[in-house]
Structure 1
Amino acid sequence: MPSKLKYHKNYTELGAVYQLVLPLSLEGLVPDDDSVRLLSHELEDLDYSLLYQAYSAKGRNPVVDPKTMFKILTYAYSQNIYSSRRIEKACRRDVNFMWLLAGQKAPDHSTIARFRTGFLAEACESLFYQMVRRLNQMGELSKETVFIDGTKLEACANKYTFVWKKSVGKWEEKMFWNIQKAVTLLNREYVQSFCISEGSRVQDLQKICRFLEQLCEEEHTVFVHGRGKRRSRNQRYMELFRRFLERQTVYDWHTASFRGRNNYCKTDPDATFMHMKDDHMRNAQLKPGYNVQIGVDSEYIVSTDIFQDRNDVWTLVPFLKTMEKNLGFRYLSVTADSGYESEEGYTYLRERKQKAYIKPQTYEKWKKRSFKQDISKRENMRYEETTDTYTCHAGKKLKPLFIKKQKSKSGYESKVTVYECENCTGCPHKEKCTRAKGNKRLYISKSFLEKRQESYENILSEKGVLYRMNRSIQVEGAFGVLKNDYEFQRFLLRGKTKVKLEILLLCMGYNLNKLHAKIQNERTGNHLFPVKETT
């Protein structure tokens, strides 16, 4: 017997309504102390003029107001929701997202994706620093010191699509040698005078290809393909130099994509292959990623930036410049770990009258007994300031030989004094002191040593101990929350601009959650954690 039960797309027609349906207000469903209320209040008064300029004045209005879309996106990142499809699902089912929409239609996932990667790209950084300046106006920032640290996050890219600069250079030079041989044969057979120069390889190859094309047209050369068919001389040279031209074009594109790096990723050309802390295979595998830098003050992230350099030492100066430009004020001091120590960084901070609380790279080694007993180290030699000489373990003098200039990757020039021992011939301590065949030499930058000593004294002071302890709590704690609690360990978008957009949204969500926690725990206005006294 056939069933009379029919299904409909509208499930309300399947049975009776079991509860009274009213146009309920969502105001009563959101708790009074919920973080979404604070987020909506803090983001309401920001200047969205740059965001509205991204929209065209012609055509229909957007489905959801751009200000509301920004609130939804920021709240989603604060709640560990990063996928556009999951954000769309939350807008349809989550009461807090519905409350933010305020009766507007839930946006589609494609609308969210277009807004995030297109309309918000230019305005997100401005909105983030507006929020930081708002925290400053509320007295939440100390403006005394900024804690700086960095981490590497994996890019949204294939980990096997790497291109190495050394490999490209090797194959390019090998091909150039083959091109030279082919051009020599071409000139001999066709009685020409073509030449290939290193600075204009593509143009010279294009000139040869045009000559061969014209020759093939004049002689009505028939191109044959397949096994058992003999190619003419014109066809052989034509195909050979076309392959050379295609390969040279690819090599030029690779060289342009490096932009000062040793490698790049084909899937995301802005990403650089780096060693990640999460090495589950324990084989030191390189993965495409970005170097994320943040500056923290009073537990809030006040600045963030994306770098392609694997080393933190080259990020300090550009990061400080960007932070000062966007915040509108300069911190009195900078606290960072040993990875940021450099003469360039010390000089930059001294010129701007900022106190450096940077731990020396050899700080931990100085404490070891093996280091103190190493006679080859400069620290274990006696220095006479009047004569500017060092005395080695054997009692011989190391005198200044000459001064050489070194230029860093960023263009900073430093002066290095080279000291050489009087005579190491027959010295019984030479094996422990140096590996050089001749006399032992020391390469010392006096300016760097003087600035390092000043920073070393700063971190040993009472305030320095307080800053170092808070650096490990605040900035390293911020990365711990972002990577573990927020489960953000891999970017979703590709390209440096879009990656920076993601980290800005994440930091803004982190700051709003931190403000909410401080308000609820009555900790507003607290900037530093006190040092616990030992019993």
Structure 2
Amino acid sequence: MYIQYTMDQLCLPMDLEEDIPPNHLVRVVNSAVNRLDDTIFDAAYPGGGRDSYHPKMLTKVIIYAYTQRMYSSRQIAKVVRENIPFMWLAGRQRPDFRTINRFRSQRMKDVLETLFTAVLQFLADEKYVSLDHYFVDGTKIEANANRYTFVWGKAVSKHKAKLQEKVHALFADIEAAEKQEEQEDHGKDLAELGECSEISGAKLEQVTRELEARLLNKPKDKPLKKAIRKLRKDLLPRLHKYEQYQKQLGDRNSFSKTDPDVTFMRMKEDHMRNGQLKPGYNVQIGTENQFILAYSVHQSRADTRCLQPHMEKVKQVLGRLPQTVIADAGYGSEENYAYLEKEEIQAVVKYGSYHIEKGKAWRENIGKFENWTYDEVEDTWTCKAGTKLRFRYESKKTLDSGYELRQRHYRSTGCQGCPLKAECTKAAGDREVTVSLKGLRYKHQARQLLQSEEGYRLAVRRMIEPESVFGQLKNNRGFRRFLLRGMEKVTLEVGWLSLAHNLLKQAANDQKRRAAILQ
């Protein structure tokens, strides 16, 4: 005998909720989004036109899709028609892939951060996070851009310089031809222009028009006609192109033609295992209890230059800055220490040589001025041989960010007969050192804090905070390459990922709490 099987028979109950377990993740997503105020979405819908799908429904569908490793709008549209949890979230409505993609990348561009902050406030109210300790780290994620349509800043500058030489040579030829025809007044203008070190595209366009006007009076002047043709067909378009490239580069050294916002970076997850450069973005996140508190996307390859703009984003999202920031040595620069001190933030941040200084080789190296003695009253350094290095002058350097770095220069006298000179320095003359006293003070403060009981505990905890989150995003949920292009849309992708991660983490914590109660 068989259990009765009839496809045409109507079965009860028809409510999809009966097929979803009580503690299923989809219920966590549904509950979190339902708690949001509907007015949050008002900015995404200015009004007019036909009725739209409810933004809460689309938000639930997209967040749950991201928790299930589904990032393609076509794939999400497919499961909304076939998968029971998705069908339940959507209320059996069937938005197509264009609607889903337009909602997550256009409609929500001014709303997603507010939504993220609202969900984070729910987590704080329920004691999942305290917003006091902020563990920050960054990772590089490959962009949705062609790996071979790159533009390098140095190459652009080089080609532009060569083009300027060709322009100057062309003007010199025109000037020589004008002199032969005894028209010195016209040649004088070109001569003055030819003396300019760099000619802009706008100036070259103006001169080209003047030459074209002159050609109307001398239509049989073949050299002039040839020069104008070369300017119009070759030199002028290339100069405009190089200027546009330099504008897009800004202070970067590269970008991709398919996504001008990206920078070429070395990726650890290189499938060729040869450290090749690939187009990508530097994603910075801050975590507490492995919940993402804030996120930001940067074009800079170095984490050092990302801390300050990221913390400004944190202030915007949280409404305040955290009490303590914990980060690895990639953030340990004098500029960052100064910023955290100004904002009255406790900085549990290592610097580059922190671990090396603990080694025996460093401590016994007599050439390191850090192992010498500094006299604040005399402003001198005394080396291991007892020779004093006296202050000579102070230099100032303004970094790209605007921070002023002050360095003091010291020099010894009488190093020639020193028996320790071979171990101290390879320089032929007397020993010189360049020191930032402010930087040394910040390093001393960081060292003392990291060696304290609280600092050591937070530094160890950092290893399982943002690193674990990146492992979840990249390995467990397979997000290794962005789907969208442009800084704005990529930031939205990171926002959706962060929302999905936080609700996944909440569901995992709830499950642990229930298990603890049952025990």
Length-normalised TM-score, structure 1: 0.88
Query: What amino acid sits opposite 2:106 in the alignment?
Result: G
The one-letter amino acid of 2:391's match is P
Specify which of 21, 43, 55 is matched with residue 53 of structure 1.
43
The one-letter code matched in structure 2 to 1:209 is: T
Counterpart of 1:127 in structure 2 is 115
Q: Secondary structure at the match of 1:521?
A: helix
**AA of the residue aligned to 2:351:** P
Q: Which amino acid aligns with 1:413?
A: E
Pair 1:187 & 2:175 matched? yes
CA distance in 1, matches of 2:239, 2:263: 23
Letter of the 2:407 partner, please give it.
V
- Asked whether the 8 Å contact 2:398–2:405 carries over to 1, the reply is yes
Check the 8 A contact 1:142/1:298 in 2, yes or no. no
Note the alpha carbon deviations across 1:315-350, whole angstroms, 9 max, x for none: 112211210222023321111111111222222222
TM-score, normalised on structure 2?
0.91
1:6 corresponds to which residue?
A: none
Aligned to 2:202: 203
**Could you give the per-residue CA deviations for residues 441-466 of structure 1, whole angstroms, max 9, x where no partner exists?**
11111122112211211111111122
1:216: how far off?
A: 4.8
1:37 to 27, 30, 49: 27
Q: CA deviation at 1:253?
A: 0.3
Counterpart for residue 492 of structure 1: 483
- Partner SS state of residue 121, structure 1: helix
Q: Is the 8 A contact 2:268 2:275 kept in 1?
A: no
Quote the offset at 1:489 in angstroms. Answer: 0.9
Establish whether residue 354 from structure 1 lines up as the match of residue 339 from structure 2.
no
SS in 1 for 2:118: helix
Contact 1:77 1:506 in 2 (8 A): yes
Shift in Å, 1:406 = 2.4
Higher mean alpha-carbon deviation, 410-419 vs 196-205, is at: 196-205
The amino acid that maps onto 1:329 is R
* Residue pair 1:125, 1:504 contacting (<8 A) in 2 also: yes
Cα deviations across residues 172-210 of structure 1 (Å, max 9, x unaligned)?
A: 111111111111211332432222545652223212322
Aligned to 1:68: 57
More divergent stretch after superposition (285-294 vs 133-142):
133-142
Q: Secondary structure in 1 aligned to 2:200?
A: helix
Find the counterpart in structure 2 of residue 107 from structure 1.
95
Residue number among 50, 57, 68 corresponding to 1:79 in the alignment: 68
Alignment of 1:23-34 (within 5 A): 24-34=14-24
Alpha-carbon contact 1:140-1:524 (below 8 Å) kept: no
- Residue 96 of structure 1 and its aligned partner are, at CA, apart by 0.8
Structure 1 pair 524/61, CA: closer, same or farther in 2 (3 Å)? farther
1:498-520: CA deviation from partner (whole Å, max 9, x where unpaired): 11100110011000000011011
Paired residue type of 1:189: A
Distance in 2 (alpha carbons) for counterparts of 1:319 and 1:112: 29
Partner residue of 2:80?
91
SS at match of 1:473: coil
Give the alignment partner of residue 318 of structure 2, picking from 327, 330, 335: 327
- Aligned residue for 1:528? none
CA distance in 2, matches of 1:48, 1:455: 46
1:459 — aligned with what?
450
Distance in 1 between residues matched to 2:407 and 2:7, nearest whole Å: 85
Within the alignment, does 1:505 sit opposite 2:496 as a pair? Answer: yes
| 5+ residue gaps, structure 1 | 1-14, 222-230, 526-535
For structure 2, the residue ranges without an aligned partner over 5 or more in a row are none
1:366-377 equivalent positions in 2, closer than 5 A: 366-377=357-368
Q: Are 2:244 and 1:256 equivalent residues in the alignment? A: no
**Aligned ranges for residues 170-185 of structure 1 at < 5 Å?**
170-185=158-173
Tell me how far apart the structure 1 counterparts of residues 514 and 299 of structure 2 sit (CA, whole Å).
37
Aligned length: 500
Looking at structure 2, the residues matched to 524 and 345 of structure 1 have their Cα atoms a distance apart, in angstroms, of 43
Cα offset for 1:235? 3.6
Q: Alpha-carbon deviations, 1:273-315, whole Å to 9, x = none? A: 1111123434321111111100001221000000111111111
Cα-Cα RMSD: 2.3
Between 399-408 and 165-174, report the one with greater CA deviation: 399-408
Give the Cα separation in 1 of the matches to 2:89 and 2:448. 51
Task: Verify the 8 A CA contact 1:376 1:433 in the aligned structure 2.
Answer: yes
Residue 219 of structure 1: CA displacement? Answer: 5.2
Deviation at 1:79, TM superposition (A): 1.3
Secondary structure, counterpart of 2:141 in structure 1: strand
User: CA 1:353 to 1:207, structure 2 compared with 1: closer, same or farther past 3 Å?
Assistant: closer
Aligned partners of 2:348 and 2:455 also within 8 Å: yes
Contact 2:43 2:110 (C-alpha < 8 Å) held by counterparts: no
Higher-helix-fraction structure: 2
Alpha-carbon distance in structure 1 between the residues aligned to 2:203 and 2:322: 55
| Aligned-partner Cα distance in 2 for 1:122–1:381 | 55
**% identical equivalent positions:** 37
| Structure 1 equivalent of residue 276 of structure 2 | 285
1:440 to partner: Cα distance? 1.6
Please state whether the residue corresponding to 1:363 is helix, strand or coil: coil
